[in-house]
Structure 1
Amino acid sequence: MKRETLFLKSVIYLMALFVLGLCIVALPLVSSAITAPHWNLKLMYAATSIGLYASAAAFYVALWQGLLLLSYIDNDSAFSELSIHALRKIKVSAAVMSGLYFLGLPMSYLAAQEQDAPGIIVICCLFVVAASTIAVFAAVLQKLLTHAIALKRENDLTV
Structure 2
Amino acid sequence: MKKGTTFSLEAAVSIVGIISLSLCIFYFPGLAQETADRFPEFSGLQYPVLIGVYATAIPFYFALYQALKLLNCIDRNKAFSEEAVKTLKHIKYCAISISVLYAFGSLLLFFENALHPGVVIIVATVIFASVVIALFSAVLQMLLKNALDIKSENDLTV
Task: Give the TM-score taking structure 1 as reference length.
Answer: 0.85
Letter in 2 for 1:136: L
Deviations 1:11-66 (A, max 9, x none): 01101111111101222134345555355763x33321111011111111000000
2:134 maps to 1:135: yes
Q: Residues 92 and 133 of structure 2 are in contact (CA less than 8 Å); yes or no, is this contact kept in structure 1?
A: yes
Matched residue type, 1:103: F
**Map of 1:1-12 to 2, 5 A cutoff?**
1=1, 2-12=3-13
Whether 1:110 and 2:114 are equivalent positions in the alignment is yes
Matched, 1:46 2:47: yes
Q: Deviations over 1:131-151 (max 9, x none)?
A: 111111111111111111001
The answer to whether the Cα contact below 8 Å between 1:105 and 1:125 also exists between their aligned partners in 2 is no
Query: Residue 23 of structure 1 aligns to which amino acid in structure 2?
Result: C
Q: What is the rounded CA distance, in whole Å, between the counterparts of 2:35 and 2:143 in structure 1? A: 41
Q: Tell me the distance in 2 between the aligned counterparts of 1:157 and 1:133.
A: 36
Counterpart check, 1:121 vs 2:125: no
Equivalences for residues 26-105 of structure 1 within 5 A:
26-33=27-34, 35-36=36-37, 37-38=39-40, 42=44, 44-105=45-106
CA RMSD, aligned part only? 2.1
Q: 1:115 corresponds to which residue?
A: none
Aligned residues of 1:35 and 1:111 also touching (Cα < 8 A): no
Size of the alignment, in residue pairs?
A: 153
Counterpart secondary structure, 1:78: coil
Alpha-carbon distance between aligned partners in 2 of 1:30 and 1:121, rounded to the nearest angstrom: 17
Which deviations, in whole Å up to 9, do the C-alpha atoms of 1:75-97 show, x marking residues without a partner?
A: 11111111111111101111111
Amino acid at match of 1:148: A
Q: Which runs of 5+ in 1 are unaligned?
A: 113-117
Three-state SS of the structure 1 residue aligned to 2:10 is helix
> Identical aligned pairs, as a percentage?
37
Which amino acid in 2 is paired with 1:58? P
- In structure 2, the CA distance between the partners of 1:40 and 1:110, relative to structure 1 (3 Å rule), is closer
User: Structure 2 unaligned runs (5+)?
Assistant: none
1:101–1:124 Cα contact (<8 Å) kept:
yes
